[in-house]
Structures are given as C-alpha cells and as structure tokens.
C-alpha cells in the first residue's frame, strides 16, 4: 500500500506482467512477417505504456483507467488512429490472456470493452488523404538533392521513395524486398510478398525506379557482393557502411524529416499510397484499374482511397480513326 492507501504493484508483479506481455506479443504476431520486429516493438510499447500509466497489475485495472489513459494519450498529441490502435492492443492483450486457464482465473473481464473509443475514419478529407502534385514534387526534390550529393542514405531514400510514389505498393511490400525478388533485365520485374504470404510478380516500367535502386547499390559498394537473400535496403552508419535491414519505421521517420525540409508539414508514409491512388484515378478514370494497381480485393476498399474518379480517358477513338483511315481534314 502507498501512503494514500493505493495499491502499488510489487517488482514481482511488474516483472510477471512484462513477461506475459512479451508472451502475448510473440503469440499474436505472424512469425513469417518481415515486419515482425517492428510489430513486436510497437505492441509491447503500447501495453507497457498502459500499465506504467495506470500503475496497477492487470487484474486490478478498471474501465475508468482505460479512459484516463486515452485522455493522457490525447494530451500527448497523438492522433485518433494511433490512440485507437494502442487501445486495441491493450484489448488484444486482455483477450489473449483470458484465453489461458490460469490467467483467466485472475482476469474476469476485459476493461477495454466498456471504454474503447470509436474507430476513427481512415482520413477525414481528400486533402489529408493525399499530397498535391506540387507537394509531392517538393518532397521528391529534397530527397533527390540529398541523393545527388553522393550521400548513401540519400540515394537509398530517393530510390525507396520513387518505388513507393510510382508503384503505390504497401510499405511492407517494398521495404522487405530482397535482391532475389528483382530482375533488372530491360523492364524491372519485382516479386512482392503480399498480405497472407502470397507472392505477386509485377513489372515496374518506369526506368527511373530501377536506375535509382542500382545507383544506390553501386554507390554504397553493395552491388558486387549482394546475394539473393540480402535485403536491398539497409541501414548505414555515418561512414556509409551498411548494417542490418532498414525498417519501414525508420524510413517513415526520414520521410517526415524530408517533408519538414520541403515545407509541407507532417506527413505519414501511407499518404504516398493515397497520392498514387489519386493520380492513378486521374490518369485512368477507372476505379477498377486503380483497384487492380493497389492490389485491393474489394472495390469498397479502393473507394476509401479514391473519393472521386477523374474524367475517363478516351483510349480508342484515335486508334479506331487510324484503323479506318480517318484523318484530320
């Protein structure tokens, strides 16, 4: 007990809680995911942050504690989607723990059930969904300038950014690429690993994507020694030496810094995918083509990315006129 009569967890309680948190994170994270390390870290951080805030062992937490934590997260400036994700991880922890016969004896209910916030809309307006063409151009210019200076990190980030901008692929699909996943003869053929472990081969026609990637690998001295299982994107120390695989979390932090330098404010990496969707819609005028490009199973999902489709493009009249021998008078 504290001087105020509050229940204070012992060191043993805290150690036990942390070991259970690690067991939950491990059991609920796909072992084959290339983002596993990031996911484990984020899950553990959210739940540990919660228990550090409430100052109670799991079996003594009440819904009002969950609500107080939500308010604290809001006061820290976290956005609703981040708060919702963190609260959902606490809920997942309780649901998992209550599935264990021994832990279930202590955890009679999930305190998040009566205090979970409403799920936020993915984005509130078209302006927050995607960058404008001018904004995207400013961002690319900042990263390109760093790449052209000879900086290895700049070359890597420029190649990565181009891949995201010109293909619209999901962050894990690009950041997890290994050398064996790409073929660089003529058009660049890429094998992406999709959600659920499925594989998909795509041709990336824009030559600049391949050129920027090869420029990075050659400049960093990796092109001659890289093997099929080697990650394409790696960390680099101040001397330029490569290290372990680059995480999407680290790259997203770099993009935020570049965006600040470009004067376009705070952005998140997923906005690049939304920007691709908007531009693809403008170019094709077809929600079906945008759906196919984004790899969505449902057109309803694509509509979250694409509130409006631009004017449909006429793909046939000129070719039919030529076929029929019709020419301008």
Q: What is the pLDDT along the chain (329 residues), one digit of tens a residue?
A: 333 333 334 444 444 577 888 889 888 888 776 678 888 888 899 999 999 999 888 889 999 999 999 999 988 888 787 888 889 899 999 999 888 888 888 888 899 988 887 766 554 444 447 888 889 999 999 999 999 999 999 999 999 999 999 999 999 999 999 999 999 988 899 999 987 778 999 999 899 999 999 999 999 999 999 999 999 999 998 877 888 999 999 999 999 999 999 998 888 898 999 999 888 888 888 888 888 988 888 887 888 777 655 555 566 666 777 776 675 54
pLDDT at 313: 59
- Is residue 96 domain-shared with residue 174, that is, in the same domain? no
Residues 156 and 263 in one domain: yes
User: Is residue 53 assigned to a domain?
Assistant: yes
Measured distance CA(170)–CA(270) in Å, rounded:
8
* pLDDT score for 151: 93
Distance CA 71, CA 53 (A): 11
Which one, of 309, 303, 308, lies nearest residue 122 by Cα? 303
Q: Are 284 and 292 in contact (CB under 8 A)?
A: no
Instruction: Give the model's pLDDT for residue 16.
Output: 53
Residues 140 and 105 in one domain: no
Nearest to 131 by CA among 303, 274, 258, 249: 274
Q: What is the DSSP letter of 214?
A: H
Residue 185: CATH number of its domain: 1.10.443.10
Q: Looking at 213, 238, 268, which one is the last position of a domain?
A: 268
Residue 236 lies in a domain: yes
Domain boundary among 114, 146, 169: 114
Within this chain, do residues 140 and 255 fall inside the same structural domain, yes or no?
Answer: yes
In this structure, the answer to whether residues 146 and 36 fall within a common structural domain is: no
User: Rounded to two decimals, what is the model's pTM?
Assistant: 0.60
Residue whose token pair is 């993915």: 122
In the DSSP assignment, the letter for residue 231 is B
Residue 91 lies in a domain: yes
Question: Does 109 map to a domain?
Answer: yes
d(CA 200, CA 295): 10
Q: Which two tokens stand for residue 167?
A: 């293909």
Domain membership of residue 17 as a residue range = 11-114
Confidence (pLDDT) at 12: 40
Look at residue 80 and tell me if it is in a domain.
yes
- Domain membership of residue 124 (yes or no) is no
Residues 17, 107: one domain?
yes
Structural domains of the chain, count: 2
Does residue 312 belong to any structural domain of this protein?
no
Per-residue pLDDT at 307 = 64
Shared domain for 238 and 144, answered yes or no, is yes
The answer to whether position 274 is within a domain reads: no
Domain check: are 179 and 226 in the same one?
yes
**Domain C-terminal end among 235, 268, 301:** 268
Residues 162 and 262 in one domain: yes
Same domain, 73 and 186: no
Q: How far apart are CA 320 and CA 235, in angstroms?
A: 52
Please report, in angstroms and rounded to a whole number, the separation of the first and last CA atoms in the chain: 95
Residue with tokens 């596993």: 36
The answer to whether residues 105 and 144 belong to one domain is no
Domain identity same for 45 and 96:
yes
Three-state secondary structure call for residue 241: coil
Residue 265 burial by CB count (10 A; 0-12/13-18/19+): exposed, middle or buried?
exposed
Across-strand partners of 305?
none
């Amino acid at each position: 007990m504290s001087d105020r009569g509050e229940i204070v967890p012992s060191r043993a309680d805290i150690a036990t809680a942390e070991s259970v948190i690690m067991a939950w994170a491990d059991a609920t994270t796909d072992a084959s995911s290339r983002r596993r390390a990031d996911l484990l870290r984020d899950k553990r951080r959210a739940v540990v942050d919660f228990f550090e805030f409430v100052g109670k062992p799991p079996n003594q937490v009440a819904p009002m504690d969950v609500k107080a934590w939500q308010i604290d997260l809001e006061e820290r400036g976290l956005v609703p989607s981040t708060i919702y994700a963190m609260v959902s991880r606490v809920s997942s922890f309780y649901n998992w723990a209550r599935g264990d016969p021994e832990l279930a004896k202590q955890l009679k209910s999930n305190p998040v059930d009566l205090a979970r916030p409403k799920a936020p809309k993915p984005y509130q307006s078209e302006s927050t969904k995607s960058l404008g063409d001018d904004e995207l151009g400013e961002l690319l210019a900042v990263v390109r300038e760093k790449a052209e200076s000879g900086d290895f990190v700049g070359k890597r980030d420029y190649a990565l950014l181009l891949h995201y901008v010109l293909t619209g692929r999901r962050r894990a699909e690009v950041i997890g690429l290994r050398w064996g996943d790409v073929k660089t003869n003529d058009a660049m053929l890429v094998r992406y690993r999709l959600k659920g472990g499925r594989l998909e081969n795509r041709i990336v026609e824009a030559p600049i994507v391949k050129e920027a990637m090869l420029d990075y690998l050659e400049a960093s001295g990796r092109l001659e020694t890289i093997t099929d299982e080697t990650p394409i994107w790696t960390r680099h120390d101040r001397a330029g030496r490569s290290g372990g695989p680059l995480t999407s979390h680290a790259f997203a932090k770099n993009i935020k810094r570049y965006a600040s330098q470009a004067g376009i404010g705070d952005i998140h990496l997923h906005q690049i995918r939304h920007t691709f969707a908007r531009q693809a819609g403008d170019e094709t005028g077809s929600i079906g083509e945008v759906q196919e490009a984004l790899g969505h199973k449902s057109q309803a999902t694509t509509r979250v990315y694409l509130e409006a489709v631009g004017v449909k493009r006429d793909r046939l009249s000129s070719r039919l006129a030529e076929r029929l021998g019709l020419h301008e008078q």
